[in-house]
Structure 1
Amino acid sequence: MKYPHLFSPLKINSIMVSNRIIANPVGHVYEDKALGRPGVVIAGSVITQPGKSSWASPEEPYGFHKYEVEKTRQRILTAHRGGAKASIELGHAGQYARVAAGDFAIGPTSYTRADGVEVRAMDEAMMEEVIYWFAQAAKDAKEVGFDMIFLHFGHGWLVTEFLSPLFNKREDEYGGPIKNRMKFPLRILKAIREAVGPLFPVEMRVSATEWMPGGIEFDDVLTFIKAAQEYIDMVQISCGLDIEHEANVYMATTNFSEHMPNVKYAKVVKENVNILVSVVGAIMNPEEAEGLIADGIVDMVALGRPLVADPDWPIKALEERAEDIIPCIRCLQCYHISTNRRNVGCSVNPRYTNEAWVPRVLSKAEKKRRVVIIGAGPAGCKAALTAEERGHEVILLEKENYIGGAIHYVAMEYFKEDIKAYLEYLKAQLAKSKVEVRLGTEATPELVKALKPDTVIIAVGAEPAAPPIPGIQQPNVIGFYDAITKEEEVGENVVVIGGGTIGAEIGLELALLKGKNVTVVEMTDTIAAQGNMLYKIALRHKMEEAKTLSVMLEARCKEILSDCVRVIDKEGKEVTLPADTVIIATGVRANRKLAESFYGIVPMTYMVGDCERPRKIQEATLEGYTIASEL
């Protein structure tokens, strides 16, 4: 077995799990993750205190109410389908709770929220009520048939609010030093243990660090865990906060963070407690997970977004098919906070959020067709693999000598190791498939017609935009692809024209890692406007580390000279920037003229991806899949 430690059994209190993988609660669909065969499935969450604890809606019902309990019980049956143990998250949003109009939220300290809602400091009666509801929810979870429970005591929710001096400003016995701040949380844990008895498994999540000034120190977190171990069986180490978006990017990490950022904290916890320890956070592949278990750093690994990208991650690892695991690219498109609840989905898994109409397993086509696909970027590759899986004869034409289209270049960037992993996945899948890949073949209408296709899928992508800037033909001017592939030729003083995601990341890498003096000139008032909210926050944090990087917003390039760039700043003043190298990163334009030239060969002709209009990998993947899955 390739990953013997990852797939070794483990006893959690009175239950036995078949492997060391926890499917953390992301989204509201658990069936795919359960069928992927992790050891534990945390089947979403239930509120504890009705009307006061929901992070979603004041009307959210209590999951064990008589009119809700049967729906909640179905989560157990779903989790059990693949042999996993069923867990349920119990939480209380505290000061961030969604409450009815005119009502108040509760927390350690009184204040008025930005949305005008009053938050009242909890008195003893309020504490007793919260303790009652946590214990009742735990008892109800056990009685309805869950195998264990998962207490969300991290990310800025109620218990965290008491533990952390960032939120807890009390001057009574529940504030001040950690021994006081953890009194109320320990009372909750004691009541839960008494409610479920000594043999029922209890797991607790905590944030090892909050990534906010004034947040809890890790030593205090460790002190709390050591006291809490009397009542729990396993602690899951996370970090960051939820509603505080500046810290959210460390809870749900982006491509600017390292893999496994919380392991260093989990290791210390494991060395200091006598209970099981799990860890969550960018554990991306089976090799990383196996190493954590084999080295005794943790007892279990918790996977969130990797199982969004590929719910079959565990079974593929067990069957030693790691190359078939679809890698998460950490784009955060699956996260409703990051996307402001718009276009929520997965960039690499079209089924996520589309479970109602995207099947888990594709059926074979009733009629076999010859499908010609033009362009081997993400959209073209996904279309080719999907059509081939349906049983069609597929010919994939690519004018370059490589697979990937634009991500061939993106994968070369330092902060894009997850995109690189996805590119390698696409290459591996094409190599294993029956798709006929013709690299170095520039498609023409005549060539495509000669192939006698039944269907043509056009995925020719987009081309770099060249703005009409005087001097753009100067020898010191290069495009963003050349800036990536010929980084050694970039001079010491660099001006990047265009502060979208491409220009911003190129400028960041040149300044932070190469020490170049870089100025990014952007016409709008926003850097990386195409990126989602958390991506932009994480990018800003990383850019702030680059001391030789400057950004000019609401500025336009007036002229490029052989050694400088003349820019009009937001005040209308002309500024001269020294420039050994000028990088044009003003976005891309859909290659529509080329795409449209392939219409008229066969009736079944479709455009997918950036040649329709430039967007994200998410749209390219979904469109490539959608068209091919219906052929």
Structure 2
Amino acid sequence: MSDDPILQPYRLKHLTLRNRIMITSHEPAYPEDGMPKDRYRAYHVERAKAGVALTMTAGSAAVSRDSPPVFNNILAWKDEVVGWMRKLTDECHDHGTAVMIQLTHLGRRTRWDKADWLPVVSPSHEREAAHRSFPKKMEDWDIQRIITDYVDAAERMKAAGLDGLELQAYGHLMDQFWSPLTNDLEGEYGGSLDNRLRFTFDVLRGIRERCGPDFLVGLRYTGDECLPGGFGADDGITISQKLKDSGLVDFLNVVRGHIDTDAGLTDVIPVQGMRNAPHLEFAGRIRKATEFPTFHAAKIPDVATARHAIAAGLVDMVGMTRAHMADPHLVRKIVEGREDDIRPCVGANYCLDRIYQGGLAFCLHNAATGREETMPHDIPAASETRRVTIVGAGPGGLEAARVAAERGHAVTVFEAADQPGGQIRLTARQERRREMISIVAWRIAMCQKRGVTFRFNAFADVDDVLATRPDAVIIATGGLPHTEVLAAGNDLVCSAWDILSGDVKPGADTLIFDDAGDHAGLQAADIIAATGARVEVVTPDRSFAPEVMAMNLVPYMRSLQARDVTFTVTWRLLSVAREGNRLRATLGSDYGGMTRDRLVDQVVVNHGTRPLDDLYFDLKPLSRNLGRLDHDALLAGLPQRIDDNPEGRFQLFRIGDAVAARNTHAAIYDALRLVKDI
């Protein structure tokens, strides 16, 4: 038996959980037709195999037709969900992991023009800023109908063999009843706190009557809205005590804050650069006040923090949800004494931000997450050892090196700089994004354990590559900033990279032309504005920084709006000309022939990168495949067999930005799915 606090079993009523680590409810947007099919099941089973005690599915499963799935939620109101949830549950149970689900009605946190085009409902007409729908104020028959829907959905989950469920009460319908800000009903469901809680207790009583005392039921709820006019921490403790005293719930899963705006959501689920575990002490306060089983998750990315949460008695079960997206084998590595091998969550929030833009949840630097059916988390050994040479030690090159080394190949990496990291190293220079360097540090550590040879300060040429006698060469040289975008004055601008690297000092009055919409443009604005400079960010897009996405945008805006920064959308930089000791920047519009001028002392262009691909084209005629990639084989998970040039000495591939400007995840995915079959 281990004496590690987080490896101790925990008994929740009749259920014994094998350790104190859980995956809290979240919706990775993997359902198909509203059902948790094979992709969804494989995702949870991978984590069950590695030892997590409890996996909580859905975030959240919709109980009613008028709760349309804006996050591609599971549709718990359909009878066919039972079979799919049964398959998932049985397989997780086979590996010793308990399974629960989160049920909800989204209330106003959805859109009326989705699914069946039914009106959004809520206990008031107040609109949620994030989803913009003006709700119908609920009538008595709406309330009774939805209570029945909750109970029916719970019965389906019991029929599917789940160990229990939790009801969602932060930002959704249930706590829209709780909050004075979103409940102006008259009568028994509005007014006093007890009346505002009545809907919740009606649902809980219905579930207990239908599902019995042994089906575990809890709430994941906000204990403090952190909003003027809303309910505060003292109210939250009162609500927590009432939940316990009701005898209707078996656990409390506590969060803090509100999610009706991007900024509020980001405070509830913090991203990189924000404090770790910001609500842990508050959860501990709830546990102390109620002396009741308490769960919690909110940016607990590392084992040390999780261990503290349990050892200090702050919570009974600690949620490490995004950490399990980064490394599904986290628990197994703790058990095996291999904590140093855990792939760290860097808080980039690529996972959640993609969901809120209608995409599938993917981890920024684990390309196998969400692709468990086709991508391995444990790299299989190759049948024969080969010599693999990689040029470039950015995230794509390092992933290629790691995967090739785990395959058992002899790997050599050339890097022109004196350190690995590529664009990641530039990104991580900013304090708020320094966690990104862990993407590099983890891969370097894994490569060093497997004997990868690194040659830094080595601007490799053809002879250098050939001297390694490679069987396969992977060009991961990335790209360089592209600033040649103007009709005139290209020589008068600098790139966002120039600002990030410190090669160019910030001006006092700067115009940033951001036609890429990614982090580099906003980071440059942040660095320049921090000096006290005036900054204007200009973009031809309808909105600025679309590639940064909602939750990552929040810390930038908190910084930039506190300084002298303005954003101008739908205008394009046409030209720059010198005027005395200043620069005249001429803007034009894609919508017509209008122009505007700006007099500034610095112009920064963020227009992505162009591939640094000279070496690739020099090597191409010497390769067996002439650089050609068999897409069908790649997508089928088969080795590359192209032999266009029988005289060629090696296979040649390129990945990441050496192909085209994309992002970190794309480079890492390129590397994984190619090299796993070399």
Q: Which bin holds the TM-score, normalised by the shorter protein?
A: 0.7 to 0.9
State which drifts further: 615-624 or 463-472. Answer: 463-472
- Other structure's SS at 1:415 match: helix
Range that drifts further, 368-377 or 291-300: 291-300
More displaced stretch, 236-245 vs 451-460: 236-245
Distance in 2, matches of 1:3 and 1:551, equals: 54
Segment of structure 1 superposing worse, 161-170 or 398-407: 161-170
2:138 counterpart (122, 132, 135):
122
Q: Which residue of 2 aligns with 1:448?
A: 465
Bigger mean CA offset, 145-154 vs 214-223: 214-223
Matched residue, 1:593: 614
Q: Deviations over 1:423-460 (max 9, x none)?
A: 22122112212222222222101211222211111000
Q: State the AA in 2 paired with 1:183.
A: R
- The superposition leaves residues 226-263 of structure 1 with CA deviations (integer Å, 9 ceiling, x where unpaired) of 21122323222235666755544444443353322332
Contact residue 65 and residue 116 of structure 2 kept, 8 A: no
Distance in 2 of aligned mates of 1:216 and 1:249: 19
Q: Secondary structure at the match of 1:43?
A: strand
Correspondence 1:478-517 to 2 at 5 A = 480-481=496-497, 483-486=499-502, 490=505, 493=508, 495=510, 497-499=512-514, 500=517, 501-511=519-529, 514-517=530-533
**CA distance in structure 1 between the aligned counterparts of 2:193 and 2:440, rounded to whole angstroms:** 47
Native 8 Å contact 1:497 1:586 kept in 2: no
1:462 aligned to 2:509? no
Q: What's the counterpart of residue 600 of structure 2?
A: 577
Partner of 1:397: 414
Q: What are the superposed Cα offsets for residues 506-560 of structure 1, whole Å, 9 maximum, x if unpaired? A: 322453xx45224144342467535143146425532454323344552636246
Provide the C-alpha distance between the structure 1 equivalents of 2:597 and 2:72, rounded to a whole number of angstroms. Answer: 54
Aligned twin of 1:11: 11
- Which residue matches 2:294? 277
Name structure 2 gaps, 5 residues minimum.
Answer: 29-39, 589-593, 625-650
Q: Which residue of 2 aligns with 1:558?
A: 576
CA separation of 1:527 and 1:451: change in aligned 2, threshold 3 A: farther
Give SS of 2:7's match: coil
Question: What's the offset of the Cα at 1:287?
Answer: 1.4
Equivalent positions of 1:37-116 (< 5 A) are: 37-44=51-58, 47=61, 49-55=63-69, 62=76, 65=79, 67-95=80-108, 96=110, 101=116, 103-109=118-124
- Displacement after TM superposition at 1:288 (Å): 1.7
Structure 1 counterpart SS, 2:619: coil
- Are 1:153 and 2:160 an aligned pair? no
Q: Secondary structure at the match of 2:325?
A: helix
- TM-superposed CA distance for 1:31, in Å, is 0.8
Q: Shift of the alpha carbon at 1:174?
A: 2.0
8 Å contact from structure 1 (residues 491, 516) kept in 2: no
The alignment partner of 2:124 has SS state of coil
* Distance 1:466-1:279 versus aligned 2 partners, 3 A rule: same
Contact 1:459–1:611 at 8 Å: present in 2 too?
yes
Offset at residue 596 of structure 1 (A): 2.1
Q: 1:509 to 1:118 in 2, by over 3 A?
A: closer
2:107 maps to amino acid: G
- Structure 1 residues 332 and 59: CA distance shift in structure 2, 3 A: closer
| Greater alpha carbon shift after TM alignment, 530-539 vs 433-442 | 530-539
Q: Is the 8 A contact 1:256 1:538 kept in 2?
A: no
Contact 1:457–1:606 (CA under 8 A) maintained in structure 2: yes
State the distance in 1 between where 2:432 and 2:128 align.
Answer: 36
Using the TM superposition, name which of 6-15 and 211-220 deviates more.
Answer: 211-220
Asked if structure 2 preserves the Cα contact closer than 8 Å seen for 1:338 and 1:532, the reply is no
Letter in 1 for 2:657: D
Q: How far did residue 214 of structure 1 move?
A: 5.9
The answer on whether the counterparts of 2:65 and 2:77 sit within 8 Å (CA) in structure 1 is: no
Residues 338 and 89 from structure 1, CA distance in 2 versus in 1: closer, same or farther, beyond 3 angstroms? closer
Pair 1:608 & 2:655 matched: yes
Matched, 1:260 2:277: yes
Does 1:138 find its partner at 2:154?
yes
After superposing the two structures, state which structure 1 stretch, 201-210 or 602-611, moved more. 201-210
Q: Is the 8 A contact 2:124 2:185 kept in 1?
A: yes
Structure 1 residues 38, 566: CA separation in 2 closer, same or farther (over 3 Å shift)? same
Structure 2 CA distance, aligned partners of 1:80 and 1:562? Answer: 74
- Give per-residue Cα distances to partners, 1:342-370, cap 9 Å, x unaligned: 47532212222322321343322223221
Q: Give the superposition deviation at 1:311.
A: 0.8
Aligned to 1:224: 239
Instruction: State whether structure 2 residue 308 is matched by structure 1 residue 295.
Output: no
Q: Does 1:189 align with 2:204?
A: yes
Separation (CA, whole Å) in 2 of partners of 1:390 and 1:178: 60
Residues 544, 567 of structure 2: 8 Å contact kept: no
**Match in the other structure for 1:30:** 44
For the residues of structure 1 that align with 2:430 and 2:617, how far apart are their CA atoms?
32
Q: 611, 626, 630: which is aligned to 2:673?
A: 626
Bigger mean CA offset, 343-352 vs 243-252:
243-252
Equivalent runs, 1:399-438 vs 2, <5 Å: 399-438=416-455
Partner of 1:207: 222
Q: CA deviation at 1:568?
A: 3.4
Structure 1 CA distance for aligned equivalents of residues 318 and 509 of structure 2: 43
Whole-angstrom distance in 2 between the partners of 1:357 and 1:102: 36
Closer, same or farther in 2 for the Cα pair 1:176/1:592, shift >3 Å? Answer: farther
SS of residue matched to 2:337: coil
Residue 630 of structure 1 aligns to which amino acid in structure 2? D
Cross-structure match for 1:345: 362
Q: Distance in 1 between matches of 2:15 and 2:218?
A: 13
TM-score, normalised by the number of residues in structure 2: 0.82
Pick one of 549, 561, 573 that aligns with 1:533: 549
> How far apart are the structure 2 equivalents of 1:291 and 1:562?
61
- Over 3 Å counting, the alpha-carbon distance change for 1:134 and 1:574 in structure 2 is closer
Q: Is the 8 A contact 2:181 2:230 kept in 1?
A: yes
How far is 1:158 from its partner?
1.7
Return the offset for 1:481. 4.5
Q: CA deviation at 1:20?
A: 1.3
Structure 1 residue 286 displacement after superposition: 0.7
Q: Is the 8 A contact 1:63 1:69 kept in 2?
A: no
Are residues 1:331 and 2:348 paired? yes
User: CA separation in 2, counterparts of 1:526 and 1:213?
Assistant: 32
CA–CA distance in structure 2, aligned partners of residues 126 and 548 of structure 1: 48
Which range moved further: 566-575 or 442-451? 566-575
AA matched with 1:395:
T
Residues in 1 aligned to 2:281 and 2:203: alpha-carbon distance in whole angstroms? 28
Cα separation, partners in 2 of 1:194 and 1:308, compared to 1, 3 Å: same
CA offset at residue 340 of structure 1?
Answer: 2.9
Q: Does 52-61 or 133-142 show the bigger shift?
A: 52-61
Question: C-alpha separation between the residues in 2 aligned to 1:560 and 1:236?
Answer: 60
Partner residue, 1:376 = 393
Cα distance in 2 for residues equivalent to 1:148 and 1:250: 28
CA contact 2:353–2:552 (8 Å) conserved in 1? no
Contact 1:397 1:438 in 2 (8 A): yes
Task: Tell me how far apart the structure 2 counterparts of residues 323 and 209 of structure 1 sit (CA, whole Å).
Answer: 36
Q: In structure 2, what is the Cα distance between the partners aligned to 1:102 and 1:585?
A: 40
Pair 350,573 (structure 1): closer, same or farther in 2 beyond 3 Å: closer
